[in-house]
Amino acid sequence: MDSISNMIIIMKNGSLAGLESVSFPYSKMKLAIGECLKKEGYLSEVTKKVKKGIPVLEVKLVYADKKPKITEVERISKQSRRVYYGMKDIHSVRNGTGLLVLSTPKGILSGKVARKEQVGGEALFRVW
């Protein structure tokens, strides 16, 4: 299974269930995605922990007025079909209420930051 899809679905299901935090197996890519979501306000804390000798990534979810910040996610680039966006192809998600996450040569960036940095890359997923 796709580990990034697994990560974003765990965060979505955890936020819809009202959980304070969720955890999943650690990887550098997931840590970078977590830090990007933290900068944009979708997560409050991203920490690497070791449980039973296995590294896991634990993230704390954000709620606004008891409503989850993450209500829906959509994976764009999949293992079977990679999708790349140039800088001019990056547009706002849900009229600015959502977030596009890209894997660029400058690291994992949100759509807004990627446009500022004038870089494109592989579109990973949208979250709103």
All structural domains of the chain, each given as residue ranges with its CATH number in brackets, are 3-127 (3.30.1490.10)
Judge whether residue 1 has pLDDT over 90.
Answer: no
Band of pLDDT at residue 21, cut at 50, 70 and 90: very high
Per the listing, tokens 């804390």 go with 45
Instruction: Write down the number of H helices and E strands in the chain.
Output: 3, 10
35: its two tokens: 């830090």
Nearest C-alpha neighbor of 29 from the set 122, 127, 128: 122
Q: Predicted confidence band at 52 (pLDDT cuts at 50, 70, 90)? A: very high
Query: Is pLDDT at 56 greater than 90 in this prediction?
Result: yes
Output the six-digit token pair for 2. 């796709």
Average pLDDT over residues 64-79: 94
Q: For 42-71, what is the mean pLDDT?
A: 95
